[in-house]
Structure 1
């Protein structure tokens, strides 16, 4: 009986670690009131916008090419030192595209599965991480789109990030 218990203990610890790694993935509707800076005028006009937080610059660019809406998320190191960002899972970012009534037309994460592993990225000074999503609007004529983007970063330089400082909402007319 003792030998079997010793064999099961490492398995129990491994399973416990997996459960802990999967926790904390819930959504937060809180806004960050710390160091994050965002231009309200630019959001209202539907232009590109940028957030600066802890030496990182976050920008979302949107372009329409034929029937495609291309959303590009860029996280740039604007310091003179290397920055390390940690994502709590393979779900590194979110993109939602909504119509003028607020109905969701596209959700990047819908029907997708993501790894439950910490992902760490090092960003050298002046370098950037780039994520790109293409959505086929299938010839539909939408007079106005709202594009919500968010980076799911849990740590910067091994320090926990509160709330969601890297979130932008753009209106595309």
Structure 2
């Protein structure tokens, strides 16, 4: 399963995004019981330094990830799953932001 998170600067000014670390996004997949079956960051190591990314006017930036749909080496069962994707932005043009505004949740059926 491929994941794609895109953010478009819809203004006429360059914007500066600030991330608290090298991890710029998180993706979590849960089953119907709420159990996490996939988490992008699990087992990864990220730079522990602030990362700044500039987005030009009308530019779209895309982050991608791919999940093999396995848990402990076994394919997940067919059914409904809930995907939460969130950009880990801590400030926009130097102003703190509510992280919830950069989060989306979707239901998928496998």
TM-score by length of 1: 0.57
User: What 5-or-longer segments of structure 2 have no aligned partner?
Assistant: none
- The CA RMSD over aligned residues, in Å, is 1.4
C-alpha displacement at 1:141, in angstroms?
4.0
Please give the residue correspondences for 1:97-112 in structure 2 after superposition, counting only pairs within 5 Å. 97-112=29-44
TM-score by length of 2: 0.87
Task: Could you list the structure 1 runs, at least 4 aligned residues long, displaced by more than 4 angstroms after superposition.
Answer: none
CA displacement, residues 97-144 of structure 1 (integer Å, 9 cap, x when unaligned): 111222111011111111111111110111122110100014544221
Q: Residue 124 in 1 paired to residue 53 in 2? A: no
User: What 5-or-longer segments of structure 1 have no aligned partner?
Assistant: 1-68
Specify the alignment match of 2:24 in structure 1.
Answer: 92
Distance between the aligned counterparts of 1:126 and 1:71, measured in 2?
22
Specify the alignment match of 2:68 in structure 1.
Answer: 136
Q: Residue 169 in 1 paired to residue 101 in 2? A: no
Q: Which has the larger radius of gyration?
A: 1
Q: Residue 148 in 1 paired to residue 80 in 2? A: no
What is the total number of aligned residue pairs between the two structures? Answer: 105
Higher strand share: 2
C-alpha displacement at 1:163, in angstroms?
4.3
Higher helix share: 1
Distance between the aligned counterparts of 1:163 and 1:123, measured in 2?
18
